[in-house]
Structure 1
Amino acid sequence: MSPRLNIGLPETFSPSEVAKALDCSEWWVKEQARRRRIPFMRSGSGYRFTRDHVEEIFRILEERPSPASVIEGEVTPRRRTRPQLVGPVASLRARSPRRARNAA
């Protein structure tokens, strides 16, 4: 294999190389590109990613705390609380099995 010639073209990365950098599966990277959720370029060999693409993917996936919660020390609940039911609640009753209805 000949060494790469530096002719001003950007270096590209395969989905497996991007997956390794993101610590995820190659399938996930391809699926996100297919659904147009992450930037990519398409070549004869499939999906390819430039360094700018990979940096943008990291920015897309980055999560930061909201400024208000950092200042106030607010902790967001992990579980949703169930809404309080208002008014009477109807109890449910199971139907008889079809075979029992057809036998009659």
Structure 2
Amino acid sequence: MTYLLLTLVFLVIAVAAAAVALRVAARRTPTTADERPAPWRALVLAAVALFVLTAVFDNVMIASGLFAYSDAHISGLRVGLAPVEDFAYPLAGVILLPALWTLFGSRRAR
């Protein structure tokens, strides 16, 4: 199994959970789109921060020899020394965590 295929599994799960969360949130809050808060700015900032941290720390860990990737299992595209597939996990987190919060978080009025 390639690393890309493995990361796609996590991304599909995250996107599916986000789709369910959006439907649940739409049913819970009978408001118009103009009245709903738009969390997009916070999500984009979180994604940028996680991508930068992933790039820095993956490159440091790979350069120091803590781990290595077999070229047979990655796409070959890299950000520095880090394969681009490593960036799927922060993306999945940015998608999945707000979805889980929506589905299982506080039921208080927000």
TM-score of Structure 1 vs Structure 2, range by shorter chain: under 0.3
- Greater per-residue strand proportion: 1
Rg larger in 1 or in 2? 1
Structure 2-normalised TM-score?
Answer: 0.25
Between Structure 1 and Structure 2, the one with more helix by share is: 2
